[in-house]
Amino acid sequence: MKEWTREERYRILKDPEEIRELHERIKESPYRQTFHVQPVTGLLNDPNGFLHYNGVWHLFYQWCPWGAVHGLKYWYHVESKDLVTWKNIGTAIRPDTEYDNKGAYSGSALVTNDGLYLYYTGNHRDENWNRTPFTCIAKLDDNGTVDKAKYPLFGPQNGYTEHQRDPKIIFRRNVRKYNIIIGGQNEQHKGRCLVYESDRPDSGWYFKGELKVPGYEDFGDMWECPSIEQIDGKDVLIFCPQHITLPDRGEAKNHNGYIIGSMDWGMLTFTPDGSFHELDFGFDSYAAECAARLHQWDEGVLIAWMGLPDSSYPTDEEDWSGCLTLPRRLRVRNRRLIQTPLEELVALRDGEADPAEGILPGACEMELFNEEERLDLSLFSDSAGDGGIRISYDPTSKKIIVDRSGLSRKINTDMGNVRTRPLEHGLNHLRIFIDHSSVEIFVNDGDAVFSSRVFPAEEEHCFTCRTNARIHIWNLKPAVKDDFVV
């Protein structure tokens, strides 16, 4: 694997022409996606600033132009009218001030009477590589240009380490207060959330205190990308606890999950009603961001990075890495978050394939109605039906099991090859979205979702179902333009 020097990783992009050739080269990769947002070049990680404004969905991603490396981060902008087809708009936030000299890190966005504000972490480092995180604000005007405020809204808080980042802006309409919550780490190296407040979106911010989450005082050493959402009348704390192992998650140490509960802004306490659940049971999902669904402010749309920190992927060698998940509709049912594919995705269906042939077209959707209690399905198997990803349901243990050990290109095996999830009421239905290097499995109308990157070899393009099920397969049209816009 390529070794990057600090100079190479933190090089400033001066002219788009510097990466045009790289874009042309990676476009030829068999693993380029056709209906998922992916980096124009280099590395994509977290989705940022996801919202709907003036008839358009705006979305940004953490972007390092040079290759599959976490170096100097920009915000790259994409837009959609329907959450299904996306186009590249170009670089939005550049790390070009003293406050963000080593990266414009993750954050969120808010529409106000004054326009659209972007909140992000300015990752400042001095010449000795000591880090100071700043919470910064910028305005996105109607023709897509970003105007940064001259000074940050605030700097780091005493009593916490250098790990303070990922501002999530929340406007509490009923009291007309603005809050920012920040992911952090205290001096005892425990993950925490810090809460700031103001009467205005762009000034007057002060530190209100640390968020109390009873029972979660010792739950990972850093909480990244926290947010508090209101879904179906419930408060939901979504965050990424790091460096902790959890049941059924193999050796994975970084997670993205949620707790349903109630938020008391006066007492700064989030009281859980139930435990921490993973948002996604697959192998690759992190840093999810939620936007309010249009005209249904109580419902959310969730999108995540289909990737993980501290991991590597076969396209690293091609100098690109990462993509986003499909956006999902978010609701609460039985004290769980339910994620379902957006209705709009049906528009991508482009002719049905004959399931009897057992072939997976490059980009497709599979819908499966289970006709037995058990299920035994392999995706990406070879023409003899061997290998691939095995999806099974065992009525005795009442668990769905996703096992990727049969794939020929193994990735991040130190995090385990098997993921499971209990399904008390059996397995009835699956909707599976397959792109050129990913698979997203939606179970029982949103009970669980498994999102994973997969890099099939040429012969791994078949599927086999060894139990009785009714299966449909649709070809899917491309929906994400791979244009060179920087």
Instruction: Give residues in contact with ligand FRU (CB under 6 A).
Output: 45-46, 62, 73, 105-106, 121, 165-166, 224-225, 286-287, 309
Closest CA to 4 of 64, 91, 83: 64
Closest approach, Cβ 193 to ligand FRU, in A, equals 13
- C-alpha closest to that of 225 among 112, 305, 335: 305
Q: Are 462 and 358 in contact (CB under 8 A)?
A: yes
To ligand FRU, the closest distance from the beta carbon of 104 in angstroms equals 9
Q: Which structure tokens are listed for 317?
A: 């060698």
Task: Report d(CA 344, CA 348) in Å as an integer.
Answer: 8
Catalytic residue at 46? yes
Q: Identify the bridge partners of residue 390 per DSSP, sorted by sequence position.
A: 378, 403
CB of 72 to ligand FRU, least distance (A): 10
**Nearer Cβ to ligand FRU (165/431):** 165
Q: Which of 46, 221, 284, 319 is catalytic?
A: 46
Nearest approach, Cβ of residue 46 and ligand FRU (Å)? 5
- C-alpha dihedral over 418, 421, 425, 426, to 10 degrees? -10
β-pairing, 429-435 vs 418-422, is: unpaired
Q: How far is the CB of 137 from ligand FRU (least distance, A)?
A: 15
How far is 170 from 221, CA to CA, in rounded Å? 24
Distance CA 178, CA 202 (A): 10
- Supply the minimum distance, in Å, between the C-beta of residue 224 and ligand FRU: 4
Amino acid at 397: S
Of 190 and 374, which has the nearer Cβ to ligand FRU? 190
Q: How far apart (Å, rounded) are the C-alpha atoms in residues 405 and 139?
A: 46
Tally of CB atoms within 10 A around 404: 26
DSSP classification of residue 273: S
Q: Which uninterrupted H or E stretch holds 88?
A: strand 87-93
Is 106 or 179 the residue whose CB approaches ligand FRU more closely?
106
- The encoded tokens of residue 465 equal 């179902």
User: Position of tokens 């993973």?
Assistant: 278
Shortest Å distance, C-beta 230 to ligand FRU:
23
Strands (E), 126-256: 131-140, 146-148, 160-172, 177-186, 191-198, 206-210, 223-231, 234-241
Burial class (CB in 10 A: 0-12, 13-18, 19+), 124: buried
Q: Would you please indicate which residues are annotated as catalytic (active-site) residues?
A: 46
